[in-house]
Amino acid sequence: MDFGPYLMLASLEGAVTAAVLALTAIGLSLVFGVMRVVNVAHGEFFMLGAVLAWWVASHVGGPPALGFVAALAIAPLAVGGLAALADMTVLKRVAYDPERTIVATIGILYIIQQVTLMTYGPEARPVEPPFNTRLALPWVEWGESGLQLYWPWGLSTTSYKLFVIGAAAAVLVGVWLLMARTRIGLLMRATQLDREMALAFGIPVERVYAMVFGIGGALAALGAVLIVPIQQAHYLMGGDPLLLSFIVVIIGGLGSLPGTVAAAVLIGLSDGIISVFFSPTLAKILATLLVALVLVFRPQGLFGTGAK
């Protein structure tokens, strides 16, 4: 393949990564924005979503699409419920102190991961995609009669991958509508702006916190359900999404939702493209160093506006 089609293939793979990453990172960003805590167990909510998707899909009979749709509904709900429970039993009791919350969520990370290992086991298991048509993609080149289309060998994607990108975009629009247009979103934004004032106005801040934490976990689980037909479910799969979400949330500016989406697209695409042309390890080294340096020299993020 020539460079052009190769780049297009890499960008398509990158776009799928970016779509799932945006969902996962927006959950982390929402939690940080409203609650001002960092949830280190976020990657495990992602992993749990994938594992539950496998569990639901393997227990629902019929065509693969039925199991997948059931997983799409059940896994995020269950993970969101668990996240809300973790918030009420643990985070509330450490009074959302930023440092103690990090230590407690590290504990939750190991609990979720190890309980999954004990019950689900160390195997990686696949979920069948509901549809998976292979789509060959055309490319243009200068031929004898000017520009002409041709189908290079190996340049193709699947209908499922395109669906992942579309579904993620739809969910992101949904999150934006929730935050901007509904009463619950209003309560969340009020809590984010001024917790004390929100309390004084009678907003049940603790319930809002539990809800935000639940939605954050559910979004990570949703991203995982979407990716699990492409990538298999495994009990250690939470590490990379956590790291990448951290990177995205920090580059995008802590707690800024539009910034997070922009950074997810940037990081997802560049991760896909860099990994194709260079070593993935080198790409990760550069990305982690970039995050550290952004936090040191530009704590408001690359897309953030002014320091607070």
Q: Note the residues at the interface with other proteins (CB under 8 A).
A: 38, 90, 93-94, 98-100, 102-104, 106-111, 113-115, 117-118, 122, 239, 243, 246, 250, 279, 281-282, 284-285, 288-289, 291-293, 295-297, 299
State the nearest-atom distance from the C-beta of 285 to other proteins, in Å. Answer: 5
Cβ atoms of 214 and 76 closer than 8 Å = no
Cβ nearer to other proteins, comparing 38 with 77:
38
**Rounded to the nearest 5 degrees, what angle is found at the Cα of 87, between the Cα atoms of 82 and 89?**
90
State the nearest-atom distance from the C-beta of 21 to other proteins, in Å. Answer: 17
State the nearest-atom distance from the C-beta of 97 to other proteins, in Å. Answer: 9
Cβ nearer to other proteins, comparing 1 with 106:
106
What is d(CA 216, CA 214) in angstroms, rounded to the nearest whole number? 5
State the nearest-atom distance from the C-beta of 216 to other proteins, in Å. Answer: 16
Ramachandran category for residue 169: left, alpha or beta (phi over 0 → left; psi -120 to 50 → alpha): alpha
Cβ nearer to other proteins, comparing 115 with 197:
115
What is d(CA 290, CA 248) in angstroms, rounded to the nearest whole number? 11
| Dihedral, 118, 121, 126, 127 alpha carbons, nearest 10 | -30
Rg (CA), the chain: 20
What is d(CA 208, CA 35) in angstroms, rounded to the nearest whole number? 9
State the nearest-atom distance from the C-beta of 161 to other proteins, in Å. Answer: 27
Distant-in-sequence, close-in-space partners of 255: CB < 8 Å, separation ≥ 6: 29, 32, 33, 34, 36, 192, 249
- Token output for 60: 């629902």
Q: Which of 72, 34, 39 is nearest to 245 (CA)?
A: 39
3-state SS assignment for residue 41: coil
What is d(CA 271, CA 103) in angstroms, rounded to the nearest whole number? 29
Cβ nearer to other proteins, comparing 203 with 302:
302
Cβ nearer to other proteins, comparing 66 with 293:
293
State the nearest-atom distance from the C-beta of 86 to other proteins, in Å. Answer: 9
State the nearest-atom distance from the C-beta of 35 to other proteins, in Å. Answer: 12
Cβ nearer to other proteins, comparing 170 with 296:
296
Cβ nearer to other proteins, comparing 9 with 210:
210
